[in-house]
């Protein structure tokens, strides 16, 4: 086995940085700075209201505006986002799903205003709603109409944006939710099949192979980088196999597995965060070393993302990592380094066998849409296994469960280790939104929205009507309201079964403590777990709820996207003894402040505990407001958290009565 030296050096992958924050103008400045530093593609992060079809002044948007991405409410915001950036020359990735038709419509409208040839536009909308039900949580409508809008986008781009990737099948969040490599392979491929099956009826037989070739993937690469490298080679083989055998695609170029990647954020640690630099580099090797399975685009997280929002310098550090590998090393001068390696071949074969078995199970259930409940349950259980192995030290995490002694890091000393969101950004955004509404032709907007709702209800492709609404001045929330009216809203399964699991490791003393407190209370300890706001990252909340269930608590967990009023009302209705809230979007201060205010108004005197990516200064502020305990990613021992919760209830007035 040897890798031949090539006569010409391969072109590097696209260098991207996933970015967007505060306002469209601030994000535009960041994009232009990153492009000047050598970034070769744009990757747009939208805030949660934009992702879920709400305007910035909606009740659920409170505290969320501009936190995890840029707010885009209307055409004016999209203009500001791409000011002085020629879209015809860009390759733009937009991480957007439920509102993908709308954001693509705004992008097309701005490109036309710039004088661009729309047919020349290059880029991707993620547009993968199935993984939103399983892991990310930014869905709006039920699965079937959501799938229909995915393929509406695909069919529209086939005619009008032939260089655009209409869907990025996203297994990234599946791994973040705990998926094993076999599950990540199978669940992503099942999603692609569901889309292609629906798309068949919307494009001609002669155009279908080309559309198969436009489907791309967005994957995750974890720290077990040899397994991850093998997973990518398995993806290449399985996609080729499915395209040929299931869809009859004969031309090899249309069966090519094309993917972008962000390496694993789940494994980034709050403890000793400087170690994350090495994790990111090692994970990048999995998607770059093998020429056969090399990523088309790579975006790397920043070393300090477990602490809060990264600064521009942190993002530059990650970009430089890519540039050094691509331009200083000789990696791109060689053919595939792993062809013919027996160890690699064995692992790839094993992964393919496992993925085929899982895919056959999903097919037997009727495909990905029909199997959403099944896949969600599998992810929650796999994530529980992952966490348990870290707790018991079966899995080593340096600086977390081994070698925890450390010298203080100068990287995190003093102020400025993370970026602090502009506290005025939300108010400024709402003011601009108000001014936009006042300046537009209201009759034209309403006519365009009525046409959009009619198109959605009739089965017409929603893209032309969405573009017309964008040009008329409609807002993201108004577009979202139209599709909600046409298709209804949806609440995805939580994956947390009412029945306890078989897990017993270290639980007996906690179960005894729960029983003792329950006896004092006169009924089982009632623990309400909630996710206020629009944050859809539910993995932590699911694991807390599942572990509390296994410890003998009576849990109440409704899933994501609840208002503070709904959470407090549920706590009163359920007669909860303790409330636990999970917020990872950075909106913890305003949301928790409102929850506490509503608890006091309802005369609800039970402990409130909070978990999330919460800087220490914010944790201190939350405790001063009345929060009983604050947990962050460093608190990985769930059994200790369970004992803390039991102790809080035991010391509460209810237990003393």
pLDDT tens-digit profile of 80-133? 999 999 999 999 999 999 999 999 999 999 999 999 999 999 999 999 999 999
**Alpha helices (H) along 365-500:** 372-391, 425-439, 442-458, 462-472, 476-487
Which tokens sit at 235?
A: 């993806």
Quote the CA–CA distance of 372 and 181 in Å, as a whole number: 18
User: pLDDT tens across 513-548, in order?
Assistant: 999 999 999 999 999 999 999 999 899 999 999 999
Q: Is residue 443 classed exposed, middle or buried when 0-12, 13-18 and 19+ CB atoms within 10 A define those classes?
A: exposed
What's the mean pLDDT in 489-496?
92
Residue 423: CA atoms inside 13 Å, Cβ hemisphere, count? 2
Q: Which residues of 162-190 are buried (b: 16+ CB within 10 A; e: fewer)?
A: eebbbbbbbbbbbbbbbbbbbbbbbbbbb
Query: Active site residue: 535, 550, 554, 618, which one?
Result: 535
Band of the pLDDT at 17, cuts 50, 70, 90? confident
Would you state the pLDDT for residue 2? 54
**Active-site residue (options: 21, 62, 173, 526):** 173
Q: How confident is the model at residue 498 (pLDDT cuts 50, 70, 90)?
A: confident
**Per-residue pLDDT tens digits for 135-164:** 989 999 999 999 999 999 999 999 999 999
Q: Is 537 a catalytic residue?
A: yes
Catalytic residue from among 133, 139, 156, 172: 172
Mean of all residue pLDDT scores within the chain: 93
Which domains can be identified in the chain, with CATH numbers? 170-400 (3.20.20.240), 508-656 (3.40.50.280)
The active-site residue out of 18, 54, 259, 557 is: 18
Return the pLDDT at 311. Answer: 84
Residue 135's nearest CA partner among 385, 383, 500 is 383
Give catalytic status of residue 198 as yes or no. no
- Catalytic residue list contains 18: yes
Q: What is the pLDDT of residues 358-407, one digit of tens each?
A: 999 999 999 999 999 999 999 999 999 999 999 999 999 999 999 999 99
**pLDDT given for residue 277 in this prediction:** 96
User: In the structure, what pLDDT confidence band is assigned to residue 43 with cuts at 50, 70 and 90?
Assistant: confident
Spatial contact of 44 and 81, defined as CB atoms under 8 Å apart? yes
Q: Which of 3-7, 198-202, 225-229, 618-622 has the lowest mean pLDDT?
A: 3-7
pTM value surpassing 0.75: yes
What string of DSSP letters covers 594-631? HHHHHHHHTT----EEEEES--HHHHHHHHHHT-SEEE
Residue among 67, 526, 537, 577 flagged as catalytic: 537
Report pLDDT for 551. Answer: 96
Q: Which of 534, 425, 558, 436 is nearest to 480 (CA)?
A: 534
- Tell me the per-residue pLDDT of 591-635, one tens digit each, with 9 for 90 and over: 999 999 999 999 999 999 999 989 899 999 999 999 999 999 999
Kindly tell me if the per-residue pLDDT of 419 is higher than 90: no
Of 98-107, 312-321, 324-333, 601-610, the poorest mean pLDDT is in 312-321
For 291-397, list the strands marked E by DSSP. 297-299
Q: Is pLDDT of 222 > 80? A: yes
| pLDDT surpassing 70 at residue 30 | yes
C-alpha 90/C-alpha 112 separation (Å) is: 14
31 is catalytic: no
What pLDDT band is residue 6 in, cutting at 50, 70 and 90? Answer: low
Position 7 pLDDT exceeds 90: no
Does position 423 have pLDDT exceeding 90, yes or no?
no
Q: Does residue 41 surpass a pLDDT of 90?
A: no
State the burial class of residue 277 (Cβ atoms within 10 Å of its Cβ: 0-12, 13-18, 19+): middle
Q: Which two tokens stand for residue 373?
A: 């409940």
Give the pair of three-digit tokens for residue 414: 């003093």
Higher per-residue pLDDT: 18 or 372: 372
Q: Which two tokens stand for residue 357?
A: 């078995």
| Rg of the chain on CA atoms, in Å | 25
Residue 299 has pLDDT above 80, yes or no: yes
pLDDT at 422 over 80: no
Nearest to 293 by CA among 329, 242, 344: 344
**58 pLDDT exceeds 60?**
yes
Give me the pLDDT at residue 444, please: 98
pLDDT at 1 over 60: no
Tokens linked to 302: 């920043």
**Which residue of the set 74, 531, 577, 588 is catalytic?**
531
Q: Is the pLDDT of residue 20 over 80?
A: no
Residue in 142, 97, 103, 127 with CA at minimum distance from that of residue 199: 127
Separation between Cα atoms, residue 145 and residue 486, nearest integer Å: 9
Question: Does the pLDDT at position 409 exceed 70?
Answer: yes
Q: In whole angstroms, what separates CA 405 from the centre of its chain?
A: 32
Q: Please state, in angstroms and rounded to a whole number, the distance separating the CA atoms of residues 624 and 87.
A: 48
- If one counts every other C-beta atom within 10 angstroms of the C-beta of residue 630, the result is 20
Tell whether the model's pLDDT for residue 263 goes beyond 80: yes
């Amino acid at each position: 086995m040897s890798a031949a030296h090539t006569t010409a050096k391969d072109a590097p992958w696209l260098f991207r940085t996933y970015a967007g924050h505060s306002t469209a103008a601030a994000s535009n400045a960041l994009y232009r700075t990153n492009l000047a530093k050598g970034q070769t593609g744009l990757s747009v992060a939208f805030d949660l209201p934009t992702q879920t079809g709400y305007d910035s002044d909606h009740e659920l948007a409170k505290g969320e505006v501009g936190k995890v991405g840029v707010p885009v409410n209307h055409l004016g915001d999209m203009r500001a986002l791409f000011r002085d950036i020629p879209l015809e020359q860009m390759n733009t990735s937009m991480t957007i799903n439920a509102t993908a038709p709308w954001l693509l419509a705004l992008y097309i409208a701005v490109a036309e205003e710039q004088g661009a040839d729309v047919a020349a536009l290059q880029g991707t909308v993620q547009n993968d709603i199935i993984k939103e039900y399983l892991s990310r949580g930014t869905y709006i409508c039920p699965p079937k109409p959501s799938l229909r809008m995915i393929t509406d986008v695909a069919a529209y781009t086939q005619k009008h944006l032939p260089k655009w990737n209409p869907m990025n099948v996203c297994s990234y969040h599946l791994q973040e939710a705990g998926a094993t490599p076999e599950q990540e392979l199978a669940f992503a491929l099942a999603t692609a099949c569901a889309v292609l099956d629906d798309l068949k009826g919307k494009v001609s037989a002669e155009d279908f192979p080309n559309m198969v070739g436009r489907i791309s993937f967005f994957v995750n690469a974890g720290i077990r980088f040899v397994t991850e490298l093998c997973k990518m080679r398995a993806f290449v083989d399985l996609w080729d196999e499915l395209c040929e055998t299931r869809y009859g695609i004969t031309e090899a170029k249309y069966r090519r597995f094309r993917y972008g990647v962000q390496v694993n954020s789940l494994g980034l640690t709050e403890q000793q965060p400087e170690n994350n630099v090495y994790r990111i580099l090692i994970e990048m090797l999995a998607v770059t070393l093998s020429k056969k399975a090399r990523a088309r685009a790579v975006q790397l997280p920043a070393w300090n993302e477990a602490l809060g929002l990264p600064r521009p310098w942190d993002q530059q550090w990650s970009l430089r990592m890519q540039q050094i590998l691509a331009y200083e090393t000789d990696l791109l001068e060689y053919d595939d380094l792993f062809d013919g390696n027996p160890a690699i071949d064995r692992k790839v074969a094993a992964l393919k066998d496992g993925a085929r078995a899982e895919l056959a199970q999903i097919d037997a259930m009727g495909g990905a849409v029909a199997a959403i409940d099944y896949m969600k349950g599998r992810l929650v259980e796999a994530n529980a296994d992952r966490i348990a192995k870290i707790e018991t030290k079966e899995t080593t995490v340096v600086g977390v469960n081994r070698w925890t002694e450390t010298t203080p890091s100068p990287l995190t000393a003093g102020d400025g280790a993370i970026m602090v969101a502009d506290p005025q950004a939300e108010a400024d955004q709402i003011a601009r939104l108000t001014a936009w509404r006042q300046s537009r032709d209201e009759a034209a907007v309403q006519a365009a929205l009525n046409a959009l709702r009619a198109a959605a209800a009739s089965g017409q492709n929603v893209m032309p009507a969405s573009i017309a609404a964008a040009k008329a001045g409609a807002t993201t929330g108004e577009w979202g309201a139209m599709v909600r009216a046409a298709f209804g809203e949806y609440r995805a399964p939580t994956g947390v079964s009412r029945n306890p699991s078989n897990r017993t490791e270290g639980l007996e003393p906690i179960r005894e403590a729960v029983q003792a407190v329950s006896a004092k209370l006169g009924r089982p300890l009632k623990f309400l777990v909630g996710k206020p706001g629009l944050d859809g990252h539910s993995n932590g909340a699911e694991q807390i709820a599942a572990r509390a269930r296994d410890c003998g608590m009576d849990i109440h967990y409704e899933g994501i996207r609840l208002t503070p009023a709904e959470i407090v009302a549920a706590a009163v209705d359920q007669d909860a003894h303790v409330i636990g809230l999970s917020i990872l979007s950075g909106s913890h201060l305003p949301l928790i402040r409102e929850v506490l205010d509503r608890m006091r108004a309802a005369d609800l005197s039970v402990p409130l505990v909070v978990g999330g990516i919460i800087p220490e200064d914010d944790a201190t502020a939350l405790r001063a407001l009345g929060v009983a305990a604050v947990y962050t990613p460093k608190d990985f021992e769930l059994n200790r958290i369970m004992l803390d919760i039991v102790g809080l209830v035991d010391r509460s007035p209810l237990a003393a009565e």
